[in-house]
Chain A
């Protein structure tokens, strides 16, 4: 009885979710992107220092489909997108679910500036489709998608809101803490904002910026203080990518964390990938903002701790 009432009360959010999923597909298909589906289980997820995969019969549930997406790019699929569930162990909060819906799209031959253009067009398109253009209210705060969106470097955002330069000073612990407590809450009002050019140690799978080797061509899209998407110009140098993976695995081993095998086929595929850019966007968070939901639990029918 209780569950039926809770589910009935979620109807406006779930209807909005359905319209957004439809709008996302419409946007990408109409721009010549091919929708692909890749395995949910993988023998070798991308090694990440701070993302823990869930084991599944000796393999792992994907934390992101990115390695498969790039293997497709390397085989000549130039514009692709995928929307589906990913799994990250232990991530649970008002903005985190251990299982969530990720949208990823990739462009061969482009860099991260093309992805920023996509983000602008995508959110404006969705807001028009949903009657949220040019402005709407989220948790009592006006948000809008028209007009220019700020594009701020990580260095400038930190100098402004946290008082230090994370590109000059190598302090990953302080970086994460200040990002969460001092920087993120200020970003993306009223329009979305790009936080760009991360210190190179925060590069993940992004390439180093050719014009400034102290930073990586990686950006995060923020809206209303909420991180919505993470995009970058892909690192396509096989040797450098392998070195980063090995370093990450070494750090995980030192921290006593599981160390999945090296994704060899992905590394080989980089030999056939010249330039590319890719981005992952949290669909549940996007639904939360566009439907003015109080938390992530409202925009999924069954939150992580649901009963059998």
Chain B
């Protein structure tokens, strides 16, 4: 059971339990007209389905904090549409659907440590480290003579994710990627070196 909260606790980023599901406040505005009552205008996002809605609360309204915890887990393997992880503290295995993994699937490699978000003890999503390293599995050679700065070409990574990279990147290179933006940062190791 999450703690009971009041309207004055509401703020952007706060996580609430509404009708048995976890919600995060993605937009928040405190309003108070003239001599009137305080109004707490929230845009809420369901942390499982991603569905958003607007609701205005008043002083006196009571809330339940969402019972959420984070646990470090290691990614093991994918089986059909299920992603399997292992709790690094208890060695217990849990699985997460492809929908719940979302775009994070582009950066998951075996043994990667992630933070698993648990709602009432059940896994609902993961957050990745800000930076991960992935190997280039396919990329056509850069066109010779094209030295214009900022020129890029597509490259496919070991997870199947495709990104734009500088022309000097070759198959087998290890790249550093920013998981928040999904973009190339730098080459960590050149192929064959």
Contact = CB atoms under 8 A, between A and B. Distances in A.
A39 interface: no
B37 interface: yes
B180 interface: no
Centre residue among B8, B35, B58 by max chain A CB count within 10 A: B35
Interface stretch (A116-124, A129-137, A173-181): A173-181
A88 to B, nearest CB: 9
B35 A51 contact: yes
Nearest to B56: A177
22 contacts: A49-B37, A50-B38, A50-B59, A92-B30, A93-B29, A95-B31, A96-B32, A173-B58, A175-B36, A176-B33, A176-B36, A176-B37, A176-B39, A177-B39, A179-B33, A179-B34, A179-B36, A180-B33, A180-B41, A184-B33, A202-B36, A255-B60
Contacts of B56: 177, 181
Interface residues of A, number: 27
Contacts of B31: 93, 95, 180
Contacts of A50: 32, 35-38, 59
A94 B58 CA distance: 17
Interface string B29-71: 1111111111101000000000000001011100000000000
Interface in A214-232: 220, 227, 230
A184 B33 CA distance: 8
A172 B33 CA distance: 12
Interface residues of B, number: 17
Interface of A: 48-51, 90-96, 172-173, 175-177, 179-181, 184, 198, 202, 204, 220, 227, 230, 255
Nearest to A93: B30
Contacts of A90: 8, 38
A96 B60 CA distance: 19
A198 B33 CA distance: 12
Contacts of A175: 36
Given A50-B37, A180-B33, 4 more contacts: A49-B37, A50-B59, A179-B36, A230-B35
Main secondary structure, interface of A, reads: mixed
Nearest to B35: A204
Given A173-B58, A181-B56, A255-B60, A91 B35 contact: no
B32 A202 contact: no
Contacts of B8: 90
B59 to A, nearest CB: 8
Contacts of A176: 33, 36-37, 39
Given A90-B8, A93-B30, A227-B33, A180 B39 contact: yes
B36 A48 contact: no
Given A93-B29, A181-B56, A255-B60, A227 B35 contact: no
A180 B31 CA distance: 7
Interface string B1-40: 0000000100000000000000000000111111111110
A153 to B, nearest CB: 15
A272 B65 CA distance: 53
A299 B38 CA distance: 23
Nearest to A195: B34
Centre residue among B32, B41, B60 by max chain A CB count within 10 A: B32
B53 to A, nearest CB: 15
